[in-house]
Amino acid sequence: MLQFEQEAWAQGARRLSGVDEAGRGPLAGPVVAAAVVVARTFLETEATRSLQRLTDSKQLSAKRRELFYDLLMSSPDVEVGIGSASVAEIDALNILRATHLAMRRAIEHLTPLPDLALVDGRPVQGLPVPHRAIVGGDGVSLSIAAASVLAKVTRDRLLVELAAQYPAYGFDRHKGYGTRAHLEALQRHGPCPVHRRSFAPVAQRVLEFDS
C-alpha cells in the first residue's frame, strides 16, 4: 500500500497528498472530496500497525470507517482538506466536473499546497498541483485510502443531517443512493431540494409531478 508513495518520494515529492471522493453515484446530496497529507514517518511506521487494514472505504464496515476517521482526524501527523460541490453545481456542471471541483477545493484547503497529489481514478482537470491518477488507487495507496475514508464518513454524516431536514426519504439509511426504498419515497413524495435533478430517476419524478 506504499508503492506509489515510495515512488513519489524517490522522485523528490516531499509533501504528498492522497485525494479521493465520495458520492458520485447517489441521487441526492453533494459530492465530497478529501485531500490528506500524512507525514512520511507516520505513514511508514503505521502502515503495518494502526493503518494496516486501511483500504478503500467501500470495503470497510461503517464501524471500521469511523475508527479510521477518528484516528486520522486526531493525529498531529495528518493534515486534511475537505471540499464539496453542491447539488446545484452537480446539476449545472455534470457530476464529473463537479467531482473535479470538489477535489480542487479539498486540495486548496491544505496549507501549504502539496508537491504532488495521488488521485483515485482517472486524470483530473483543474487541480492546483501536479497529480498522478491511479485507477483503483484507494485499494493500493494508503494515502488515497485515507482520503477515501475521510470523504465517505464526512459525506455520510452530512446525509444524516439531511435526513433530519427531509425525513420522508431515509437519507440516513441509504445516503442518497438509488435503493428501492429511496425510489419508492421519490415516487410518493417527489424530489426534495437536495435531489440531483439532472440524474435520470429524479428527472423522471420531476416530470411526473409537473405533469
98: nearest Cα among 110, 81, 86: 86
**Cα–Cα separations (whole angstroms), residue 78 to 30, 141, 143, 184:** 24, 15, 10, 41
pTM, whole model, 2 decimals? 0.95
34-93: pLDDT as tens digits: 999 999 999 999 999 999 999 999 999 999 999 999 999 999 999 999 999 999 999 999
Going from N- to C-terminal start, the domains of the chain cover 3-210
Q: Is 159 exposed, middle or buried (0-12, 13-18, 19+ CB in 10 A)?
A: buried
Separation between Cα atoms, residue 199 and residue 173, nearest integer Å = 20
pLDDT of residue 206: 72
Separation between Cα atoms, residue 209 and residue 206, nearest integer Å = 5
Overall average pLDDT of the 102-112 stretch: 98
Overall average pLDDT of the 158-171 stretch: 97
pLDDT of residue 204: 84
Question: Locate cell 481514478: which residue?
Answer: 121
DSSP for residue 113? P
pLDDT of residue 207: 66
pLDDT at 183 over 80: yes
Banded model confidence at residue 205, pLDDT cuts 50, 70, 90: confident
Asked whether the beta carbons of 68 and 88 are under 8 A apart, the reply is: no
Overall average pLDDT of the 95-124 stretch: 97
DSSP for residue 122? S
pLDDT of residue 7: 96
Assigned architecture for domain 3-210? 2-Layer Sandwich (3.30)
DSSP-based three-state secondary structure for 169: helix
pLDDT of residue 210: 56
Q: Residue 85: phi, psi to the nearest 5?
A: -125, 135
Separation between Cα atoms, residue 150 and residue 142, nearest integer Å = 12
pLDDT of residue 209: 60
Separation between Cα atoms, residue 110 and residue 93, nearest integer Å = 24
